[in-house]
Structure 1
């Protein structure tokens, strides 16, 4: 059974829900909703990963997410912090965050020495290494093709794993996200090749997280399908993730995924 990360973007310019949850009360209410619908984790972000988004200051990023973290952590809710800045990551861990979801794969400049002591103090802490063709900082054009995308992702994961293991981070703490949509390429077939070859990635990196929710590649392959109309195609992809037993799935619509998961599992049962 997959662990579901419910997406909670506290930003102005996230591609799907920018501006909806900037008010702390609205963000907390959305967090409650995601948990009621069956989220195992709240994946909280104060900095949009939209390729057209602007960078906010580290102080503003933390101010956006802190009220939500402070509200839910004392209730025992598991919080994942979607941030690539070491200083924000450290504050999050000190406030009770138990998963760091880094879209740069822990390559962004800054001192990450705190991770070693954080893992020693909190062995349950997860670090999600995400692959992106440009680490999602520069907006250069992707050169990834369907033929070479898996090899590129594997090489990146191996490199990041080696560096983190050298910091005495245990491999059991590491999770891996291949990135999808514009994180990989404007060509939707690059993302579909990753979905087709998930088993290859999973063999070497079993602790996979995959997020396809409302992504650009789903809209592009269907003739620029608007974001608001991508729920059904998202669910089709998420059923594919369930089929391959991907352990962590990141989504906007937790309820629909939980409902689909229940029906999917019933369909697989054998008397």
Structure 2
């Protein structure tokens, strides 16, 4: 199967959240990269900015460009960044998979989320214990291990949310000329604008995973991997048809 996949992780996590997806893509013979965003994983300690994140995605997509059509997939913050990246005229993805990011990151909701992050950041450990407790409670054991393996950058919450205040996701979606798959857990709290985002997309499709919550790739990896492989396969088949 021709084609390749870039996987963009969410806030506080690292590329290790994609271990199960990287394994599934490897078994299918699909080249893939899962880079760490600025301020996360191997780049922890560097400043998170949207522009720096765009550069990370640029490099990964460019590295895979010789393998055929590139699907760029992201979850949560990574989903928003993936949509923002794909909306730029200089970007050339074959398709976008945007998971767990169907709420417009602006206005009162974002302000309240950022305020909560600021309060948590004032805890003696910066909120590390609270984050760990919630992750253990909400994720299956393997998902928890994958989330924490690359380190959990609790310190990036406030600067990350602050940076995202300048991103208009609905406008980004309107500017994307390739298929966009919105992959959400049915119990995800980030689905407020799901229908609005679908209407905004020129070619938008919704994949809803039953009983899954926000970090759908970690809570329901088998269902998520099936969707990921189906989408990558459809792009590969479309590219092959165009060549003929």
TM range, smaller chain: 0.3 to 0.5
Query: Please, what TM-score do these two structures have when normalized by structure 1?
Result: 0.39
Higher relative CO (CA 8 A, sep ≥ 6), structure 1 or 2? 2
Higher helix share goes to which structure? Answer: 2
